[in-house]
Chains A and B, each alone.
Chain A
Amino acid sequence: MAGNATKGRLVTVAVVAGSLLWTAPAGAQTAAELRQMIELQRQQIEQQARQLELLEQRLEELDARTIDVEEPPAPTVLPPAVVAEEARVRSGDTGVSLAISGQINRMVTVANDGDDTKVFHVDNVNSSSRLRAVGRAEPTERLAVGTLFEFEMRSNASTEVSQINEDTGVVGFRSRFVDIFFTHEDFGRLSVGRGSTASDGTSEIDLSGTSVIAYSSISDTAGGLLFFDDDLDQLSGTSIGNVFSNFDGLSRQNRLRYDTPTFAGFTASADTVSDARWSAALRWAGQTDVIRAGAAFGYSDPGDGRDWIVSSSASVLHQPTGLSFTFSAAGRDNPGRDDALSLYGKLGWQRDFFRFGRTHLAVDLARNDDVAVEVDEATSIGFSAVQNITDFGIELFGLYRWHELDRNGADFDDIHIVTLGTRVRF
């Protein structure tokens, strides 16, 4: 048994020794090659080390020098994502697009009615919070077809809150535009649906840059506030919105509207509106290096027992100084009594005090006669300021406004408001 084990071990040793003898020449050859390779690598490393030393010396020399020439601006390089997107649009653009935009416009208003002071958190109806989608297609080079959806959500609208209703609760979406339009470069534009009538905006041309908080429709800021009657020692039923109006034509309605192409800055418009109403308007806008100006005139048949509304406005901006002047005059037929009148003037000044956006300042005066009641005289003066943060689509604004109402047989206290707010476009 032991002899067998010894024999086994001898066989194993013999096999291993045989194997070593068999592979020894090849192993000796590989080791020589490896030594040669190692030698080559060592030489390369030494050469690279010398090059590295030379480069370090060169760098030290460059650092020691004073570079007194202005470095050239870096070339404009678009991020790869933008380049890819532009390439995609250019290669495949069919002239069909859908643009989605919107804004939120909120403010805090402190109001004193002569008897009490209250704070209101409101949506700014001067330009309410809203969402818009504009679709546009160009079947031919000169013809465009489009759709316009726009909805507003006025949570606690500035025209609806009052001393007796400080929170109007949750509100739903309200349609502003549900409109289809066809625009031809030679033949003008045809619009059908709910949208601006021809006369809409004809009382509101304003280049002061403060219209987000102050323009001819001054009742948009706090129209629901009630005048306090000292004679009765209680709030009256008359609100700011009852006695101030800019009579801006027929506003937005369900209509069929046509606009001519623009000629020398002039555009004429006309429409037919539901409930047998209609309106027509003429607009003009032009500019030079010095002056920028716009004007509009509208005539409307408002129906509902009234014969007419006349609306007009004009605004001029002197660009070198930033001074602007805005004027609006409008009137409305009142069956059986004197016609109502609206006059509005504004002096504005805009200047780039800050790099991030323009500052707009303005003072305005509004006067309304015979709007709610015969011989009513309503007067208002306002001071407004708007600061743009242009790149971010943000406006910060503030306003002080004084409202006065003279009415026979009543003794209304003045209403003072101070408001601060912001509009963010997104």
Chain B
Amino acid sequence: MRAAALALTLATLLVACAGMEPFEPPVTGELNPEPGLFSGENGAFILYRSDRQSQPAEKAEPERRLTDPPPI
């Protein structure tokens, strides 16, 4: 009987909880994502790595001299 009541309570809780949207509660004592005095709305200074910066610079085409043969 007790086991059934416990199971029913747990099932009710699970159903009730399932109807709610999940959210991330603030973690007590930690740096939660909130605005910062200098960093602004992000709350952090964020550095990104970009493909453009990580790729080596393209080699410039050498200047043709008048004596060079014409391109084929």
A150 to B44, CA, bound (A): 13
Q: How many residues of B contact A (CB 8 A)?
A: 35
Chain B residue contacts of A91, Cβ below 8 A: 50, 52
Name B34-58 residues within 8 Å CB distance of A: 34-39, 42-54
Q: How far is the CB of B64 from chain A (nearest CB, A)?
A: 32
The smallest beta-carbon distance between A243 and chain B, in angstroms, is 21
* Interface Cβ pair total, 8 Å cutoff: 124
Interface residues of B in 9-37 (CB under 8 A from A): 14, 17-31, 34-37
Residues in A neighbouring B51, C-beta threshold 8 A: 92, 94
CB distance from B36 to the nearest CB of A (A): 4
Q: Is the CB of A393 within 8 A of B43?
A: yes
Contact of B46 with A98 in the complex, beta carbons under 8 Å: yes
Q: Is the interface of B mostly helix, strand, loop or mixed?
A: loop
Q: How far is the CA of A100 from the CA of B48 in the complex (A)?
A: 12
The residue of chain B having its C-beta at the shortest distance from the C-beta of A264 within the complex is B18
Contact A285 B31 (CB under 8 A): no
Known pairs A102-B31, A264-B18; A96 contacts B45 (CB<8 A): no
- Separation in Å of the A203 CB from the closest CB of chain B? 9
Interface centre among B24, B28, B34, B45 (most CB of A within 10 A): B28
**Is A391 in contact with chain B by the CB < 8 A criterion?**
yes
- When the two chains form their complex, are residues B21 and A99 in contact, meaning their CB atoms are under 8 A apart? no
Chain A contact residues, CB within 8 Å of chain B: 88-89, 91-94, 96-103, 126-127, 130, 132, 134, 150, 201, 204-207, 211, 215, 217, 220, 262, 264-266, 284-288, 291-294, 315, 390-394, 424-426
Using a CB–CB cutoff of 8 Å, the interface residues on chain B facing chain A are 14, 17-31, 34-39, 42-54
